[in-house]
Amino acid sequence: MIELSLHILDIAENSTRAGAGTIEIAIHEDPDHDRLSLSIKDDGKGMDKTTLQRALDPFFTTKKVRQVGLGLPLLAEAARSAGGHFSVISKENEGTAVQADFQFSHIDRQPLGSMADTITALITGNPDVNFIYRHQCGDHHFAFDTRQIKKEIDDVPINHLDVLQFIRQHIEEGLREIGSEAQYPKSE
């Protein structure tokens, strides 16, 4: 994967397959302290100790459709390659928390990518899951919560095309306002 947002997409999709009802994604860009951190937390079924110990082995997966599980190992390697570290904590029937930290200025740090596209894709395929996305850049904050959107749109599905377009634009605008690396030109 060439962008951190794609790692986030992959891990959050794993969370949905693990039965998560709520997934929290947090990013903190801190160029003044030369750090970038991201976390993905869910309330899914979690992993037992044996599965957790094997989770970073690329030749281990719980999926039936393929024999490799590259999501966590690739993110762990991306963090280590960029002067950072990686951790995963999981408890059965409680959920999983993934944390990756990077040296912000490291030449091998992957770009953040389009978080607006990532969050929109997650909502499109998982309309019943609640996504909470928090992004901090220096002292500036942006937050997005699908539970609030669902209250506002009442009986319109959150994955309706017009709602998704609004969500993508809202996230892009919010990231631009806080000066995030993940900002992209305004959608047409």
pLDDT tens column, 4-44 = 999 999 999 999 999 999 999 999 999 999 999 999 999 99
CB 125 within 8 A of CB 15: no
d(CA 69, CA 59): 6
Asked whether residue 68 is domain-assigned, the answer is: yes
Whether the model clears a pTM of 0.85, i.e. scores above it, the answer is yes
| Higher pLDDT pick, 63 / 183 | 183
What is the total residue count of the chain?
Answer: 188
pLDDT of residue 70: 61
Q: Which residue has the tokens 């957790």?
A: 52
In three-state secondary structure terms, 88 is strand
Query: What CATH number is associated with residue 166?
Result: 3.30.565.10
pLDDT of residue 188: 41
CB 144 within 8 A of CB 171: yes
What mean pLDDT is predicted for residues 138-152? 96
Asked whether residue 185 is domain-assigned, the answer is: no
**Average pLDDT of the residues of the chain:** 89
User: What range does the domain containing 103 cover?
Assistant: 4-178
Which pair of structure tokens corresponds to residue 163? Answer: 């709602």
Asked whether residue 31 is domain-assigned, the answer is: yes
How many domains are there within the chain? 1
Q: Which residue has the tokens 């309706």?
A: 160
Mean pLDDT lowest for which of 42-56, 66-80, 87-101, 163-177?
A: 66-80
Half-sphere exposure of 130 toward its Cβ, with a 13 Å CA cutoff? 14
Asked whether residue 188 is domain-assigned, the answer is: no
Asked whether residue 187 is domain-assigned, the answer is: no
Asked whether residue 158 is domain-assigned, the answer is: yes
Asked whether residue 39 is domain-assigned, the answer is: yes
